[in-house]
Structure 1
Amino acid sequence: MTEGAIVSPFETVKVKMQSDRSGKGDKKPKSLASVAREIIKKDGYGKQGLLRGLDATLARDGLWNLLYFGIYHNLKPLIPIKEGKSQPPVTLRFLLGFTASALASIADIPFDVVKSRIQGPQPSTGRIYHGVFQTMSLVVKNEGILALYAGMVPKRMYY
């Protein structure tokens, strides 16, 4: 939970910077601090401002940690240890970590998509993405279930 609370403001700023289409030509890009100040000035610090998408960030990070550590630590004892060694071979631990990370990422990507929708630009008619499950159901209704898995390949390359 602490991780999500610390990461969420940076995620909000990151999504805002990634989706900002106001830069033209050689205009200098805005800094992290200036974008954060803009968000705070316009929407404040709370869940409508810098902490927008906190619930989705907590769900994403919580699910990933639950699955990654649950899979890794439950399967690690099943890896054979060579005689005279205290740990399984590094290659097998790496493969287990990679697999646990991949499975956790596949499971949490819908919450990552929802987080970005909540934090990102909204239609000029007003904000349509509010809560985690409201956003999830709206995305599925309007774009189909696969829209919740947008960006899965780049995310998998990151983890």
Structure 2
Amino acid sequence: MSSNVSLLRETSRQVVAGASAGLVEICLMHPLDVVKTRLQVQRSVMDPQSYKSVRDCFRTVFRTEGFLGFYKGIVPPILAETPKRAVKFSTFEQYKKLLEYMSLSPGLTFAVAGFGSGLTEAIVVNPFEVVKVGLQVNRNMFTEDPTLEILRKFGIGFVSGTMGSVFNIPFDVAKSRIQGPQPVPGEIKYRSCLKTILTVYREEGILALYKGLLPKVMRLGPGGAVMLLVYEHVHSWLQEKW
């Protein structure tokens, strides 16, 4: 009975810590997501109303819409991403505990646990998150000093995030085009994912499918490290207090 209570308590700690990590990451990094989406939905930089660069987009949004303009649309990701982060971290920890009985090497244990946690939330999470989770949640593999540990986490988040972004950003561009305003009012031009990608490629070229890559990479690198640091601190605090 006591073991079941302990398991429930530890799982609750992991869920709360994971949700807290996701919430903090979203609040800190959402401006980059806004900039990424603004760049993706515009069709041409020749339009006087278009953003010329990431820096120009930041400056224009702040000047015309104020600071809160960077937090438009933040409620849906908070409602969607926060529970996903909770599932991601908590299931990773549970899979890792189960795999400890199989006497696998630490690297293989983390990889399999990360893969398992990724499959658990595969319906709503990018497959590249599997790799990132397996690397980022590992707290025991290295014993460097705190400064090197933070730099390592930022490096892992940046490299894995960049790899995933380069592969999947055409689909992200398609999503933004489908969800955003259509070019001609009353006419739905962008319908399905693959058709949208082909249309953008034919009309605007291959580079148009990589709009918003820079702010996306800028978010995923530091964002991954922020999530991991918040998760570890909240989890440690809960272990002490609860």
TM-score, normalization: structure 1? 0.50
Rg comparison, structure with higher value: 2
More helix by share: 2
Higher relative contact order (CA 8 A, sep 6+): 2
TM-score, normalization: structure 2? 0.34
